[in-house]
Amino acid sequence: MFRILFYTPEIPGNTGNAIRLAAVTGAELHLVEPLGFDFEDSKLRRAGLDYHDLAVVTVHPDIESAWAALAPARVFAFTSEGSTLYTEVSYQPGDVLLFGPESVGLPAELKTDAHITATVRLPMLEARRSLNLANSASIALYEAWRQHGFATGGTH
């Protein structure tokens, strides 16, 4: 199905919620180090509840390792400055939905990386900084999945 890529996530509860999201949708979750927590963190475990064993989660030591593992997939980088509205993308199974760290979002060099197919944004009211990371990933993933009739079939 689809793949979520969190670049250096900082808050354990967001990643725990993303683990749960991956488990209930059949998506893969990919994390790029450094992580702002370890997998024994109680907030991560609580947010993920008992879904940890049901999710496909891969931790990559750096972005280059993630690109190598995910290639040749299309990569949609979610950022408040995205040029395309998330509902305007025709998602394909195997697409990667990329999100940056909670405190700063995607760094400029990732927004223009050669692996990026397009920068994408979620609509928000003016003068609002951002949505919660796990909520943003949920909105994007469910739109991609909806476009495919909520088809099952496991991970890509």
Q: Is 57:32 a contact under the CB 8 Å cutoff?
A: no
CB 18 within 8 A of CB 50: no
Whole-number Å distance between alpha carbons of 107 and 105: 6
- CB burial of 33-66 (b: ≥16 within 10 Å; e: otherwise) equals eebbbebebeebbebbeebeeebbbeebeebeeb
CA 132 to chain centre: 12
Q: Are 95 and 3 in contact (CB under 8 A)?
A: yes
Alpha-carbon distances of 94 from 21, 51, 70, 123, rounded to whole Å: 16, 22, 9, 24
122 is in an annotated binding site: yes
Binding residues: 100, 122, 130
Annotated binding site for S-adenosyl-L-methionine: 100, 122, 130
